[in-house]
Amino acid sequence: LARGIQHTSVRQAHRKYEPNFHDKYGNLVLLGGAAAFTAVWGYVFTQAGIEWGLSPVGRIAPKEWRE
């Protein structure tokens, strides 16, 4: 078994290196994902009407009980 593994690794070392999908498109996919992430969250934060106050003190009031 060890001899077979050694033989395979030697054979692959002599083979010419071919770029795989990640080598070719990895950075492009990463940049595309980052752009989509930024666009979606940018839209959410600017359009969703979020109030930027992190402290709930004075904002949360008990609801009137409905009978």
Q: Among all chains, which residue has been given the structure tokens 């033989």?
A: 7
Q: What is the pLDDT of residue 27?
A: 95
Q: How many domains, in total, are found in the chain?
A: 1
> By residue range, what is the domain housing residue 41?
20-45
Sign of CA dihedral 56, 58, 62, 63: negative
First vs last Cα of the chain: how many Å apart? 79
HSE-up of residue 42 (Cα within 13 Å, Cβ side)? 6
Token representation of residue 47: 């359009």
Q: CA angle, 11 as apex, 7 and 13 as ends, to 5°?
A: 115
Could you tell me if residue 38 is inside a domain? Answer: yes
Could you tell me if residue 24 is inside a domain? Answer: yes
- Tell me the pTM: 0.46
Could you tell me if residue 14 is inside a domain? Answer: no
Give the model confidence (pLDDT) of 20-45 as tens digits: 998 999 999 999 999 999 999 999 88
